[in-house]
Structure 1
Amino acid sequence: MTSSFLPLITQIDHNFLDRNGSGLPVPPGIPARSQWLHEEAPYAILAHGTGADPYFIYANQFALSCFKYGIAELLQLPSRLSAASQDRSERERLLQDVTLHGIAYNYSGPRVDKYGHTFTIYDGVVWRLSRPDGSPSGQAALFWNSERERPAWYRGIR
């Protein structure tokens, strides 16, 4: 794992715990939690920063495989481009809900990869990120790329 992502995935996980009451889903007995979330999680974890048109600041390996970008490419991408133009207003409504309420559950919808191919995300959770001092630092998302298929250890969220 690129060590520069360790503090960020740790912050994303802690913010999820603060908003959800439990950390990101991980099988029992994982000693290097942040590394597992970055390299081996069977679901996507993404985050974007703050601003009027925020850029991605994080993606785990699973998210990169869904969107078909390398990490350097994705970190130069405004997060709005993860949805096709006709789907961006729905995405924006979701992000506004997260801004107001801190977390949103059970989102499914279309996304678009680097090559313009559409795929569907399932059981999405989006939550507000904050720094240790409480100031906003962006939003993060978790999603699955299959409607029903989950690992045996997964017990759901919430």
Structure 2
Amino acid sequence: MPSSLPSDVVQDERLRLIVDSYRRLTGRPLLDEVPGGDEALRLALWEAPRAIVAHGTEADPIFFYGNRLALELFEMSFEEFSRLPSRLSAEPLAQEARVKLLAKVAQRGYVDGYSGMRIASSGRHFMISDCTVWNLADEAGIPHGQAAVFVPQL
């Protein structure tokens, strides 16, 4: 389990991309206003009351970010999570639904209200609900991956 904010691992540009893409696509803030610079943003995302995860654009996308709550849910350290192909966050039976969801997100920019079953490293299953999944794209529209924010149902 993570014991501290992975400030030396996570690139601040990607964190800003998570927050900025969410606002651009949904018209809503992902976080309450964060005064200060990169360190304040890192802490606000890390301590958010909802799980936040993001993966890149690899052929088999790999997570590059999970906040404290996400890492607790998936029962992984930041280092383990940041090597995990995102498809492995869903149990095999739920992967088809996940693929369909990500295709909708790719077309529409974001999807709200998704629910689904996920699996922790121990094999424990947990439900996510009230999930928003969105494309990570910079201001020029260049894709950098996808992200999700959700509430766990424990």
TM-score category, normalised to shorter length: 0.7 to 0.9
The answer to whether the aligner puts 1:79 opposite 2:86 as a matched pair is: yes
The offset of 1:37, in angstroms, is 3.0
**Could you tell me which amino acid in structure 1 is paired with residue 128 of structure 2?**
I
**What TM-score do you get using the length of structure 1 for normalisation?**
0.84
Aligned to 1:136: 143
Give the secondary-structure state (helix, strand or coil) at the position aligned to 2:16. helix
**What TM-score do you get using the length of structure 2 for normalisation?**
0.87
Aligned to 2:117: 110
Q: What is the RMSD of the two structures over their aligned residues, measured on CA atoms?
A: 1.7
Verify the 8 A CA contact 1:37 1:60 in the aligned structure 2.
Answer: no
The answer to whether the aligner puts 1:15 opposite 2:21 as a matched pair is: yes
Aligned to 1:99: 106
User: How many percent identity over aligned positions?
Assistant: 37
Aligned to 1:126: 133
- Mapped to 2, the partners of 1:85 and 1:9 lie a distance apart of 29
The offset of 1:135, in angstroms, is 1.1
Q: Which runs of 4+ in 1 moved over 6 A?
A: none
Give the secondary-structure state (helix, strand or coil) at the position aligned to 2:153. coil
The answer for unaligned runs of 5 or more in structure 1 is 148-158
Give the secondary-structure state (helix, strand or coil) at the position aligned to 2:52. strand
